[in-house]
Structure 1
Amino acid sequence: MHKMHDMPDSLYIPSKLLTIIGAINWGLVGLLNFDLVAAIFGKKSFISRLIYTLVGLAGVYLIMKHKAKLAMKKHEETEGKQRYSGKQYSWSGIQ
């Protein structure tokens, strides 16, 4: 199984676009009770269901990508605290 940071970044831009499409569609549904995807492709068509599925998968991908980014940032911060400072200490007092 691949780790999230091993996943191709080529999915990032299409995921962002699909998420934006989904957000606009949900905004129209909430404000005007108008489903743009259903109006274009048909209410119960295969293409509409495919678009809804892709929007959902894009959202999950972006959530996972964001969580991996936060985990990597946290790892880098904790790793930085444990690095060797370069200082050398002498217990005998003779240097």
Structure 2
Amino acid sequence: MHNIPDNLYVPSKLLTIVGALNWGLVGLLNFNLVAAIFGKRSLISRLIYTLVGLAGVYLVIKHKEKYLAKHRKAKGEHEYSGKQYSWSGIQ
């Protein structure tokens, strides 16, 4: 499984929302808010576009992990928790 930290989830969601709103403005009004604020070909604009793209990739991977875990659980498969149990109840 992937070892991607969960603390990137909220910033990724926010960046994806920013990207979606920007694309919505481009599609509806032919207005690119990121380019209007930071410049059409500025380094900051390119950085924002890159971060939005990486956030989308992160969310796809996280969604895939949740999907696979859900289907493993439905099949009755369990992931090893790392705990060892004995008849005496001592861990």
TM-score interval, smaller chain? 0.7 to 0.9
Residue matched to 1:41? 38
Residue correspondences, number: 77
Over the aligned positions, Cα root-mean-square deviation in angstroms equals 1.0
Deviations 1:18-66 (A, max 9, x none): 0000000000000000000000000000000000000000001001100
Residue 74 (structure 1) aligned with residue 71 (structure 2): yes
Identity in percent? 69
Partner secondary structure for residue 51 of structure 1: helix
- TM-score for the superposition, normalised by structure 1: 0.78
CA distance, structure 2, for counterparts of residue 8 and residue 41 of structure 1: 30
* Match runs of 1:54-93 below 5 Å: 54-79=51-76
- TM-score for the superposition, normalised by structure 2: 0.81
CA distance, structure 2, for counterparts of residue 70 and residue 9 of structure 1: 16
Relative to its length, the structure with more helix (as a share) is 1
Q: Structure 2 unaligned runs (5+)?
A: 78-91
Partner secondary structure for residue 79 of structure 1: coil
Alpha-carbon deviation of 1:7? 1.9
* Deviation >2 Å, runs of 4+: none
Q: Structure 1 unaligned runs (5+)?
A: 81-95
